[in-house]
Amino acid sequence: MKIKPDYDLVIIGGGPAGLTAGIYAMRAKLNCILIEKKIPGGLALITDWVENYPGFPEGISGADLTDKFIEQAKRFGLKIENEAAEAIWLDDGLKKIKTDQRLITAASVIITAGTSPKKLGIEGETLFYGKGVSTCATCDGFFYRDKIVAAIGGGDSAVQESLFLTKFVKKVWLIHRRDSLRAAKILQERAFKNDKIEILWDCIPKKISGRNAVEELTIQNVKTEEIKDLSIDGCFIFAGTNPNTGFLGDLVKTDENGFVYTDNNMGTSVKGLFCAGDARKTPLRQIVTATGDAAIAVAGAEKYIENFYEK
């Protein structure tokens, strides 16, 4: 006889995808738990203002939106536990998840572990992390009132967070390695119009230096090869993201960066193991796509779980 798992479904990660999966799973009356290693919310939680999630015509802060997701999930009885998944494997037809606290067995698992900021790998980046180097403007921007900061990157995060930083700082040097931004056009327009943002095109960061805290950023123009030192008080790095999928080991198929391949039902290469949101190999990483992925993943998991118990 098949061993009964602790849960029908374990959701790993508590950002918008995980919380949405929780809402759908509870409404499907699955015996489900969500585990989250930090506090729920993911990158949405540290997003100053979300204005592309439907239903909020004036926009909503990432923190308030997260609160609403959590409230809604809890209304349907979702249990959210503060623990980190460290490994996952298959055993006796079950999924086994080792967390930092216990071993959990599940019929099905949805990975909604999201992403973490990528490092640049330049001198001074690690040394000054927390002493002027940051990857979160909403967390640290306040400390740079009337200061000069650099923001590295040309994506949505770099431009949106640079705009947020202008609420506090005297100036943002936006350092981008190409001559056009990849951020949404509406964000680009706002940045171009903002007097506090100066974009240094075709420039790459080379070194962050200072005595006890960040004082200088060395950049190089990739076209002219000219090297320049900028006097700054803080350096915000928005150079993209890495998926939080290391705990999966070689269990599922991923791309070379660890983003998980899924089919149309959000199923991975392992039956009964699904992935939704930013950790998935996907053409668009937004809150709205994460929540949509999650609904599809739960529908897939529900079918899998039905078969699991029938067999």
Among candidate residues 104, 108, 143, 116, the one with its CA nearest the CA of residue 234: 143
Is position 5 an interface residue for ligand NAP (rule: CB under 6 A)?
no
Residue type, 116: S
Q: Residue 148 is inside which H or E element, if any?
A: strand 148-152
Residue 20 near ligand NAP by CB under 6 A? no
Show the tokens assigned to 112.
């909604």
- Provide, rounded to whole angstroms, the least separation between the CB of residue 180 and ligand NAP: 8
Per rule CB under 6 A, is residue 292 in the interface with ligand NAP?
A: no
Q: Of the two residues 10 and 208, which places its CB atom closer to ligand NAP in the complex? A: 208
- The reply on whether position 120 binds ligand NAP by CB under 6 A is yes
Q: Is 112 in the site for ligand NAP (CB under 6 A)?
A: no
Cβ–Cβ < 8 Å for 56, 65: yes
Q: Which is nearer to ligand NAP, 80 or 187 (CB)?
A: 187
Structure tokens at 266: 């959000």
Name the residue nearer to ligand NAP (CB basis): 4 or 178.
Answer: 178
Site size with ligand NAP, rule: CB under 6 A: 20
Q: Is 204 in the site for ligand NAP (CB under 6 A)?
A: yes
Binders of ligand NAP among residues 144 to 183 (CB under 6 A) are 152-158, 160, 177-178, 182
240 binds ligand NAP (CB under 6 A): yes
Cite the active site residues: 136, 139-140
Beta partners for residue 94, in sequence order: 91
Q: Name the H helices within 113-240.
A: 137-140, 156-165, 185-193
DSSP per-residue letters across 65-109: HHHHHHHHHHHTT-EEEE--EEEEEEETTEEEEEESS-EEEEEEE
Whichever of 52 and 265 has its CB closer to ligand NAP, that residue is 52
Q: Is 280 in the site for ligand NAP (CB under 6 A)?
A: no
Is position 285 an interface residue for ligand NAP (rule: CB under 6 A)? yes
Say how far apart CA 306 and CA 304 lie, in whole Å.
6
Please, which contacts does 183-190 make with residues 24 or more away whose CB atoms are closer than 8 Å? 183/154, 183/155, 183/156, 183/158, 183/159, 184/52, 184/156, 184/159, 187/156, 187/159, 187/160, 187/163, 188/159, 190/159, 190/163
Q: Are residues 47 and 141 in contact, defined by beta-carbon separation less than 8 angstroms? A: no
Residue 148 C-beta: closest distance to ligand NAP, Å: 19
CB of 155 to ligand NAP, least distance (A): 2
* Residue with nearest beta carbon to ligand NAP: 155
Question: Least Å distance between CB 143 and ligand NAP?
Answer: 21
Binds ligand NAP by CB under 6 A, chosen from 27, 39, 52, 170: 52
Looking at the Cβ atoms of 99 and 286, the one nearer to ligand NAP is 286
Considering beta carbons, is residue 190 or 303 the nearer one to ligand NAP? 190
Least distance from ligand NAP to the Cβ atom of residue 57, Å: 16
Q: What's the chain's length in residues?
A: 311
Give contact residues for ligand NAP (rule: CB under 6 A).
52, 120, 152-158, 160, 177-178, 182, 204, 238-241, 285-286
